[in-house]
Amino acid sequence: MDQLKLDIVSFLESRKEIIFERWKEKIIIPTENDYKKVILRGELLFEVMLHAFSLEKEALDQYLIKITSENAEYLKINETTNFSYIIYNANIAKNEMLIEVSKYHSSWEEIRPVYIKLSETIDRFLFYVTNYYTSLKDEQIEETKHTSKNNHEDRLTLLGQMTSSFVHEFRNPLTTVHGFVQLLRSENPELPYMDIILNELEQLKFRITQFLMLSRKEVLNQEVTLFSLNELLDQIASFIYPKLLEANVELERELEDNLYVTGYIEEIRQVLINIIFNAIDVLTEQMTSSVIKIKGYLTEDHSIVLETSNTGPKIPEQLLNTIFEPFVTTKKTGTGLGLYVCKEIIEKHNGQLYCTSDDEWTTFTIKLPPAETKNDETRED
Q: Choose one of 174, 196, 215: the last residue of a domain.
A: 215
pLDDT of residue 124: 81
Beta strands in the chain (DSSP E): 225-228, 250-255, 260-263, 291-298, 304-310, 352-357, 362-368
Q: Fill in the DSSP letter of residue 254.
A: E
Q: Is 305 helix (H, G, I), strand (E, B) or coil?
A: strand
Q: Choose one of 172, 195, 215: the last residue of a domain.
A: 215
pLDDT of residue 12: 83
- 44 plus 163 within the same structural domain: no
Range of the domain at 343: 225-380
pTM above 0.95, yes or no: no
Number of helices (H) and strands (E) in the chain: give both, helices first.
13, 7
pLDDT of residue 378: 41
Beta sheet of 362-368, edge-to-edge order: 250-255, 291-298, 304-310, 362-368, 352-357
Q: How far apart are CA 249 and CA 241, in angstroms?
A: 10
Q: CA-based Rg of the chain, rounded to a whole angstrom? A: 35
Q: How far is CA 198 from the centre of its chain?
A: 40
Amino acid at 147: T
CATH of the domain at 376: 3.30.565.10
pLDDT of residue 303: 92
- 229 plus 371 within the same structural domain: yes
- 202 plus 229 within the same structural domain: no
Question: Could you tell me the mean pLDDT of each successive run of 10 residues in the chain, 381 residues long?
Answer: 75 85 83 72 77 76 79 57 73 85 78 81 81 76 72 66 64 79 85 82 72 52 85 90 86 93 90 90 79 94 94 87 75 66 90 92 94 51 42
- 113 plus 170 within the same structural domain: no
pLDDT of residue 134: 78
Q: Fill in the DSSP letter of residue 288.
A: S
pLDDT of residue 219: 44
β-pair type (260-263, 225-228): antiparallel
- 341 plus 208 within the same structural domain: no
CB atoms within 10 A of CB 246: 11
**Is there a domain that residue 301 lies in?**
yes
- 165 plus 138 within the same structural domain: no
**Cβ atoms of residues 28 and 85 within 8 Å:** yes
